[in-house]
Amino acid sequence: MGMDFCRQDPECDYYFSLDADVGITNPETLRILIEENKKVIAPMVSRHGKLWSNFWGALNTDGYYARSEDYIDIVQAKRVGVWNVPYITEVYLIKGETLRTELKNKNMFTLNGGDPDMIFCKNVRDKGVFMHISNRDEFGRLISTDKYSTTHLHNDMWQIFENPVDWKEKYIHENYSKIFDEDYFEQPCPDVYWFPLFTEKMCDELVEEMENFGDWSGGKHEDVRLAGGYENVPTVDIHMNQINFEKEWLHFLREYIAPVTEKLFPGYYTKAHAVMNFVVRYRPDEQPFLRPHHDSSTFTINIALNNKGIDFQGGGCRFLRYDCKIESPRKGWSFMHPGRLTHYHEGLPVTKGTRYIMVSFVDP
């Protein structure tokens, strides 16, 4: 193992151990830890919104976890510093010289079949070597892997509940917060708003999930997926519940669409509930356009999932009441517009390639 390689190499200055369920976000982590000049030191990381971390502040008489009086304050950074602790795990730095002297035993993790991390820390303590945890800086976080599913093409998409910070960093557009801070949105047509929402990765992975699933509707009026079995304005589409993503999608609507709605349509407080959530595919030889219609929603979001001029030609949306066209949607940006009464609209013909959009009829 790596620790033993460091012991055998006199030029190995440090051994850094990092488990798969740790996300280091601070590129200066190693420099910061080295500058602390400790024999064994760990950067403090915890699960988002929880007290679960990579250290114990105290042990009981059996050598297991015991709550120390300052544990919560350290995890929540109410007390900041470098702390001598009896147990560290997941991520830590050890001086190479320490491994070649005080901790030169190769069997640091084995003792009567117990937990390897507990055994390692006991052996370190028994050698009189102090272990430290630092919360002086923000280093990253623990990733929750207990409920991580591997049954999808892009499994991270389903992590909006378990790892919401990582999900947001990966899938929400970098300028999303500017909607609220800097009024970073446009109004290309009356009461039609346009704002950044998804990263390119989210757009690509959602399209790939749908194509991997592959069971596109035929764009016919008869639709067994619907309660009445009939769709008045059919599209070639796949619903979120078909890929078992509806629960995650509804949470996304509450977390990211509801605040935008309240910003753009003040006085309306959405329930962020939607029955119809689906990805639509437009092709010249399949379904190139959509006839004029109203949506069965209080408001609709329509997210562009690929690029005009690169992936397809043509396309767009026209609002008939205002004779207003939006012909160059931006990948990852969403429209938001009223669904009934005023915003009668149509999908303009795609003349080349394949266009994908994600649609939700919110508050039906």
Q: How far apart are CA 269 and CA 284, in angstroms?
A: 39
Q: How far apart are CA 197 and CA 187, in angstroms?
A: 15
Considering the candidates 47, 141, 281, 355, report the single residue annotated as catalytic: 355
* Confidence at residue 49, expressed as pLDDT on a 0 to 100 scale: 87
Q: How far apart are CA 6 and CA 15, in angstroms?
A: 6
* Confidence at residue 114, expressed as pLDDT on a 0 to 100 scale: 77
Q: Tell me the per-residue pLDDT of 105-115, one tens digit each, with 9 for 90 and over.
A: 888 887 666 78
Angle subtended at Cα 300 by Cα 309 and Cα 338, rounded to the nearest 5 degrees: 110
* Confidence at residue 111, expressed as pLDDT on a 0 to 100 scale: 67
For 140-173, what is the HEC assignment? EEECCCCCCCCCCCCHHHHCCCCCHHHHHHHHEC
Q: Which tokens hold the place of 25?
A: 């976000």
* Confidence at residue 250, expressed as pLDDT on a 0 to 100 scale: 98
Question: 298-308 burial string, b = 16+ CB within 10 Å, else e?
Answer: bbbbbbbbbbb
Question: What is the share, in percent, of the chain residues with pLDDT greater than 90?
Answer: 87
Mean confidence (pLDDT) of the chain: 94
Rg of the chain on CA atoms, in Å: 27
355 catalytic per annotation = yes
Q: What is the DSSP string of 65-92?
A: EE--TTHHHHHTTSS-SEEEESEE-SEE
Q: Within the chain, which residues score under 70 in pLDDT?
A: 111-113, 230
* CB 110 within 8 Å of CB 119: yes
Total-model pTM: 0.86
* Confidence at residue 232, expressed as pLDDT on a 0 to 100 scale: 76
Residue identified by tokens 């390692």 is: 120
* Confidence at residue 46, expressed as pLDDT on a 0 to 100 scale: 97
Angle subtended at Cα 321 by Cα 319 and Cα 324, rounded to the nearest 5 degrees: 40
Q: How far apart are the first and last CA of the chain?
A: 58
Q: Tell me the per-residue pLDDT of 13-63, one tens digit each, with 9 for 90 and over.
A: 999 999 999 999 999 999 999 999 999 999 999 998 899 999 999 999 988
